[in-house]
Amino acid sequence: SMGLPGPIVRIMNQWYIRKVGEDTWRQVAASDERTSDFRVHWDSSSVENGDYELLEQMNVFVKAGSQQQVVARTNTVKVAVSN
């Protein structure tokens, strides 16, 4: 058991990027396609070459009685972009 208060209604996986040392995240992709394991495509030519942080945020929407709750998880990884 995952300890969720009810059944899963929806899952949304969102991806953000920021240059190392900057404060602002910019969304680059999102997916709610469970059948494709939330696969996304990102064209790295939209950013300059350099070192970046990618943040993945997964939101799980759970039915809890007559309301929905959101359970969120984040993961960050450093990447180097070289177009």
pTM as predicted: 0.81
Cβ proximity of 12 and 30 under 8 Å:
yes
Per-residue model confidence (pLDDT) at position 6 = 85
Q: In the predicted model, is pLDDT for residue 77 greater than 60?
A: yes
∠ Cα 34 37 41 (to 5°) = 110
Question: What pLDDT, in 10s, does the model give residues 6-57?
Answer: 889 999 999 999 999 999 999 999 998 888 888 888 888 889 999 999 999 9
Grade residue 75 by pLDDT with cuts at 50, 70 and 90: very high
10 Å CB burial of residue 74 (0-12, 13-18, 19+) is: exposed
Per-residue model confidence (pLDDT) at position 2 = 65
